[in-house]
Amino acid sequence: MIQDVRSGGEPFKRLFFAFSLAEPQRRAIAQWRRALGLRAGKPVPVENFHVTLLFLGDVPAAQVPALCAVVDGLKRPAAPVRLLLDRLHTWRRPSVLVLEPSDTPVALRQWVYALHQALLPLGIADQARDYRAHLTLSRDYPGEPPEAGVAPDFHLNVRQFGLYESRKGRYLPLAEWPLSGA
């Protein structure tokens, strides 16, 4: 298992929780993005499309099993999450072009908050911020969102989520869980 090492010699992984997308959803979003005719920014590879739940950042590799154990015991929503990505927006501070919902379901916000709280005893995810569901289309994107010929209208019925490692531009799944139940 390849790992990055901090200056002190401790191996770490750059981690986040996310919903993955089914291949037909990825293709549809990629086709819609192509129609935008983007001339700026760095497009996110289609295989990396996901809806971010919680970014953890650099986590000691030794903590990954404990992190997974916490998530194993976490109560999840009773039903699959339905999310409509219907808004094209730019986030200026990280300079990204994103698809986001006009309205994030309350159950999803509550669940992400519970996930965040469950990880606090591990010293992970200690930066509290309002959850903003999103799918990044392009990085290093300057300015306003482009005019879309067709409004975004991507319905996601999310049934599982995963823990991913960001490694050299690729997102590698480390663990997956069903979203509903538990």
Q: Which residues contact 72 (CB under 8 A, 6 or more apart)?
A: 177
Of 89, 116, 134, 155, the active-site residue reads 134
Alpha-carbon distance 43 to 152, whole Å?
A: 17
Q: What is the helix (H) or strand (E) element at residue 157, kind and residue range? A: strand 154-158
Alpha-carbon distance 70 to 93, whole Å?
A: 31
Q: How confident is the model at residue 157 (pLDDT cuts 50, 70, 90)?
A: confident
Alpha-carbon distance 95 to 15, whole Å?
A: 20
- DSSP class of 92: T
Question: Is the predicted pLDDT of residue 5 greater than 80, yes or no?
Answer: no
What's the full length of the chain, in residues? 182
Q: What is the pTM of this model?
A: 0.88
CB 88 within 8 A of CB 148: yes
pLDDT in tens, 41-90: 999 999 999 999 999 999 999 999 999 999 999 988 888 888 999 999 99
Q: pLDDT at position 94, please?
A: 86
Q: pLDDT at position 59, please?
A: 93
- Domains of the chain listed by start with CATH number: 13-178 (3.90.1140.10)
Alpha-carbon distance 97 to 142, whole Å?
A: 9
Task: List strand residue ranges (DSSP E) for 41-95, in order.
Answer: 42-43, 50-60, 81-85, 87-91
Q: How confident is the model at residue 93 (pLDDT cuts 50, 70, 90)?
A: confident
Q: Is 116 in the active site?
A: no
